[in-house]
Amino acid sequence: MSITKQLLGLLNSELKISSVYGEGSEFSFELVQEIVDNTPIGRLEDMAKPISKEYQHGYEAPEARILFVDDNELNRKVFVGLLKETKIHIDEAGNGRECLEKVKQNAYDIIFMDHMMPELDGVETFQIMKEMGDFPCKDTPVVILTANALVGAKEKYLQKGFRAFLEKPIDYEKLEYLIWDLLDKDLVQEASSVVVSAELQEGTAASSESEYTELPMVEGVDWKYARLHFKDDQVMSDTVKFFAETVLYEGKELERLFAGIGMEFGRKEFCTKVHSMKNSAVTIGIIPLAGMAKVLEDAARNGQVEVLQAMTPIFLECWYEYGKRLEVFAPVSATDKWLAADYGEEIQKLVKSMNQAAEEMDIDALDEVWKQLSEYQFSEEKQELLERIHKAVLEFDVDYLQGVTISEDW
Question: Distance between CA 404 and CA 409 in Å, rounded?
Answer: 15
Which regions of the chain carry the CATH code 3.40.50.2300?
61-189
Question: Distance between CA 319 and CA 290 in Å, rounded?
Answer: 10
pLDDT 10s digits, 270-284:
999 999 999 999 999
CA distances from residue 340 to 211, 252, 333, 371, 393 in whole angstroms, order as listed: 37, 22, 14, 14, 20
Question: Distance between CA 105 and CA 135 in Å, rounded?
Answer: 8
Which regions of the chain carry the CATH code 1.20.120?
221-329
E strand or H helix at 74: helix 73-82
Cα 42 from chain centroid (whole Å): 36
Task: Read off the pLDDT of each residue in 299-308 and give the average, rounded to a whole number.
Answer: 94
Torsion of CA 83, 84, 88, 89, to 10 degrees: 110
Residues in the chain: 410
- Give yes or no for residue 202 having a pLDDT over 90: no
Question: Distance between CA 79 and CA 92 in Å, rounded?
Answer: 10
Helix/strand/coil for 147 = coil
- How far the first Cα of the chain sits from its last, in Å, is 60
Cα 189 from chain centroid (whole Å): 28
Picking from 134, 131, 181, the residue whose alpha carbon sits closest to that of residue 161 is 131
- CATH C-level class of 61-189: alpha beta
Question: Distance between CA 78 and CA 6 in Å, rounded?
Answer: 40
pLDDT value of residue 214: 62
- Give yes or no for residue 29 having a pLDDT over 80: yes
| Count of beta carbons in the 10 Å neighbourhood of residue 153 | 15
- Give yes or no for residue 234 having a pLDDT over 50: yes
Picking from 105, 75, 110, 116, the residue whose alpha carbon sits closest to that of residue 90 is 110
- Give yes or no for residue 268 having a pLDDT over 90: yes
379 compared with 356, residue with greater pLDDT = 356
Average pLDDT, the chain: 82
pTM value?
0.62
pLDDT 10s digits, 133-180:
889 999 999 999 987 666 677 888 889 999 998 988 888 888 888 999
- Give yes or no for residue 409 having a pLDDT over 60: no
Question: Distance between CA 111 and CA 103 in Å, rounded?
Answer: 9
209: which residues sit within 8 A by CB, 6+ positions away? none
pLDDT value of residue 148: 67
Amino acid (one-letter) located at 18: S
Buried b / exposed e over 232-259, threshold 16 CB at 10 Å, is: ebebbeebbbbbbbbbbbbbbbbeebbe
Amino acid (one-letter) located at 324: K
- Give yes or no for residue 25 having a pLDDT over 90: no
CA distances from residue 137 to 104, 120, 184 in whole angstroms, order as listed: 7, 18, 14
pLDDT value of residue 150: 65
pLDDT value of residue 286: 94
Q: Is CATH 1.10.10 correct for 221-329?
A: no
Question: Distance between CA 351 and CA 206 in Å, rounded?
Answer: 48
**What is the sign, positive or negative, of the torsion defined by CA atoms of 173, 175, 181, 185?**
negative
Percentage of the residues of the chain whose pLDDT score is greater than 70: 85
pLDDT value of residue 308: 95
pLDDT 10s digits, 53-101:
443 457 899 999 999 999 988 889 889 888 888 899 999 998 999 999 9
Percentage of the residues of the chain whose pLDDT score is greater than 90: 35
Helix/strand/coil for 295 = helix
pLDDT value of residue 275: 92
Strands (E), 197-351: 338-339
Residue 401 phi, psi dihedral angles, 5° rounding: -65, -30
pLDDT band at 124 (very low <50, low <70, confident <90, very high): very high
pLDDT band at 331 (very low <50, low <70, confident <90, very high): low
pLDDT value of residue 156: 86
E strand or H helix at 236: helix 233-258
Picking from 96, 98, 108, 100, the residue whose alpha carbon sits closest to that of residue 136 is 108
pLDDT value of residue 45: 56
